[in-house]
């Protein structure tokens, strides 16, 4: 079977930046399945902007590895989803093309930076989508929109064709309405690619199981402490009790390095961003600059005009953290903190098979509510540790809600034990009858 899928969604949520009215597809396990792709993943012949004016009109000449695999298995790529500019944000409000709204409550944010992908799935515009997760950018919008979002182990899915924000942290992953669809999409995109030197050859070939008898679930108090809404914490504890009723048992674990996670994450990611985004200068990428002006003047003008405030802020922070005399004081210490967090997880996994906690400390906040950058950064406290450690993590909707809004249960596992994380999420989903 092969053909063309017509796609004209009622995109009242501004979930898409670009849509493909006619999307070709071929035979394969995803034959004719409409799939949306986050707008920082290269798609040959389809505009790819990263949610930024500096890449407006850019049409990649090649597909990312994950897009190649989707096309090979018959998927219809129906459009590119809205996102925080270059993935820098927690709400999808920093997009140069306007904010995406949450289909559950359009007065609220969908989360970010993969908010467009989450909204498209939650609204039923597509059954599945691809997002990217640098510090929670798949899991956050999944939690806020009431869908499932999975960040694979770092190196399990190729990043070839992903427009880089922070190379050592980010990972492409699937988003869908249920865990079974997450598993199906992961089986397509988690295939070896020699073009990504950080990738490990471990294809995903797994059918989710509800058998979690004897599974040890670690519950770190750090995930339920200060800053976490008490109602969110209670809803997540109720979700963990469902897994206990299905045969799992809980154990107490600790991630003491959590106190440094957010600071370490933002030093590392902004440092890498300042380097990665240097190429967008109007000569290599971006709108052409006025070559009659001195290069540094033209460079400054094009970036000031085309980059949004949050991108400029993070470039400045990263440049400062990497500058002479400060790299050792900030970036080197951040890497030490990162190693300590990774070791904390390794210790925790000696007594636990899965670590569970809330995905986000609160439910989705209102559009425009978080105007202070620091308060937005603090929202990432529960998701960034998994990226620093490179471990797999999933957000699955809890059976309960807070003020009628979804709450995400986050499950994390050992590196390359993605299958076990999928099983735990699937068991919970089946246990509550979703």
Handedness of CA 217, 222, 226, 228 (dihedral sign): negative
Alpha helices in 246-330 (DSSP H): 258-276, 295-306, 309-322
For 7-23, how does the pLDDT look when each residue is reduced to its tens digit (9 = 90+)?
Answer: 999 999 999 999 999 99
What phi and psi values does residue 347 have, to the nearest 5 degrees? -65, -40
- If you compute the radius of gyration of the chain from its CA atoms, what whole number of angstroms results? 20
Residue length, the chain? 434
Residues 6+ apart with CB under 8 A from 404: 104, 105
Task: Classify residue 129 as left (phi > 0), alpha (psi -120 to 50) or beta.
Answer: beta
What is the mean predicted confidence (pLDDT) over 173-201? 98
Decide if 113 is catalytic.
yes
For 92-123, how does the pLDDT look when each residue is reduced to its tens digit (9 = 90+)?
Answer: 999 999 999 999 999 999 999 999 999 999 99
Residue 298 confidence class, pLDDT cut points 50, 70, 90: confident
> What whole-number distance in Å separates Cα of residue 126 and Cα of residue 195?
29
**pTM listed for this prediction:** 0.97
Ranking 105-109, 292-296, 328-332 by mean pLDDT, the lowest is 292-296
Decide if 137 is catalytic.
yes
Among 229, 206, 112, CA closest to 424: 206
Structural domain boundaries, residue 261: 1-434
Decide if 187 is catalytic.
no
Among 93, 79, 103, 109, CA closest to 12: 103
Residues 6+ apart with CB under 8 A from 234: none
Per-residue HEC secondary structure of 225-238 comes to CCCCCHHHHHHHHH
| Structural domain count, the chain | 1
**Which has more pLDDT, 367 or 288?**
367
* List 137, 158, 187, 395, catalytic entry: 137
* List 42, 52, 95, 113, catalytic entry: 113
CATH number where 133 lies? 3.90.1300.10
């Amino acid at each position: 079977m092969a053909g063309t899928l017509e796609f004209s969604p009622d995109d009242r949520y501004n979930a898409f930046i670009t849509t493909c009215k006619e999307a070709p597809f071929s035979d394969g396990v995803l034959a004719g399945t409409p799939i949306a792709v986050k707008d920082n993943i290269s798609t040959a012949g389809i505009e790819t902007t990263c949610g930024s004016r500096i890449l407006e009109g850019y049409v990649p000449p090649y597909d990312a590895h994950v897009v190649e695999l989707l096309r090979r298995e018959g998927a219809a790529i129906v459009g590119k989803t809205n996102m925080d500019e270059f993935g820098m944000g927690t709400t999808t409000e920093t997009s140069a093309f306007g904010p995406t709204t949450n289909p559950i409550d359009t007065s609220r944010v969908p989360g970010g930076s993969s908010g467009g992908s989450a909204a498209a799935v939650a609204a039923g515009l597509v059954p599945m989508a691809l997002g990217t997760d640098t510090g929670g950018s798949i899991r956050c919008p999944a939690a806020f929109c009431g869908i499932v979002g999975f960040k694979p182990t770092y190196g399990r899915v190729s990043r070839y064709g992903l427009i880089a924000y922070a190379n050592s942290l980010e990972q492409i992953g699937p988003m869908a309405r249920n865990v079974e669809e997450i598993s199906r999409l992961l089986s397509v995109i988690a295939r070896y690619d020699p073009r990504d030197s950080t990738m490990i050859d471990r294809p995903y070939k797994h059918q989710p199981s509800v058998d979690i008898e004897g599974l040890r679930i670690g519950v770190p108090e750090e995930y339920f402490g200060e800053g976490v809404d008490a109602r969110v914490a209670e809803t997540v504890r109720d979700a963990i009790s469902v897994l206990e009723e299905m045969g799992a048992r809980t154990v107490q674990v600790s991630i003491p390095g959590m106190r440094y996670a957010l600071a370490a994450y933002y030093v590392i990611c902004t440092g890498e961003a300042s380097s990665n985004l240097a190429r967008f200068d109007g000569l290599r990428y971006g709108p052409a600059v006025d070559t009659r002006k001195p290069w540094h003047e033209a460079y400054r003008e094009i970036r000031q005009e085309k980059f949004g405030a949050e991108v400029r802020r993070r470039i400045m922070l990263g440049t400062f953290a990497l500058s002479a005399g400060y790299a050792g004081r900030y970036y080197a210490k951040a890497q030490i903190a990162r190693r300590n967090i990774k070791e904390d997880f390794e210790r925790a996994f000696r007594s636990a098979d899965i670590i569970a906690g809330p995905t986000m400390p609160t439910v989705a906040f209102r559009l425009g509510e978080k105007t202070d950058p620091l308060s937005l950064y603090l929202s990432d406290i529960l998701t960034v540790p998994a990226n620093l450690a490179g471990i797999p993590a999933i957000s699955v909707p809890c059976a309960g809600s807070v003020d009628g809004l979804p709450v995400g249960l986050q499950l994390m596992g050992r590196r390359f034990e993605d299958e076990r994380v999928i099983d735990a999420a699937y068991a919970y989903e089946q246990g509550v009858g979703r």
